[in-house]
């Protein structure tokens, strides 16, 4: 595996973990909100928003690192 492939794989895994952690934090915020801790739930959601606003840039950057499949030759 080349260095670029290793970095791409690592960053892809980190992005996936970030998404799973964000989903877990959303569930925690919902539970806290349900328990009457509305201010705390709002703070959790604010931090999640900070994380999620970077997600499109991260995915775009990852897509530039991934090798592009060459189109198959056309036969006549």
The whole-angstrom separation of Cα 42 and Cα 47 is 9
Q: How many domains does the chain have?
A: 1
Q: List Cβ neighbours of 5 (8 Å cut-off, separation of 6 or more).
A: 67
Considering the domain boundaries, does residue 74 fall inside one? no
How high is the pLDDT of residue 54?
Answer: 83
> What is the Cα–Cα distance from 8 to 5, expressed in whole angstroms?
5
pLDDT tens for each residue of 21-74 = 889 989 999 999 999 988 988 998 898 888 888 888 888 887 887 766 666 777
Structural domain includes residue 72: no
Residue 48 resides in a domain? yes
How high is the pLDDT of residue 70? 67
Q: What is the pLDDT of residue 17?
A: 87
Residue 58, CA distances (Å) to 1, 34, 43, 55 in order: 22, 32, 23, 5
Q: Is residue 39 part of a domain?
A: yes
Using a cut of 0.85, tell me whether the model's pTM lies above it.
no
Residue 73 lies in a domain: no
Q: In this structure, what token pair is assigned to residue 20?
A: 């799973």
Q: Does residue 75 sit within a domain?
A: no
Q: Report yes or no on 10 lying in a domain.
A: yes
């Amino acid at each position: 595996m080349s260095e670029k492939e290793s970095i791409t794989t690592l960053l892809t895994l980190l992005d996936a973990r970030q998404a799973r952690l964000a989903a877990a934090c959303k569930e925690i915020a919902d539970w806290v909100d349900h328990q009457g801790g509305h201010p705390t739930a709002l703070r959790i959601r604010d931090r999640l928003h900070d994380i999620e606003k970077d997600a499109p840039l991260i995915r775009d950057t990852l897509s530039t690192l991934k090798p592009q499949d060459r189109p198959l030759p056309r036969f006549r």
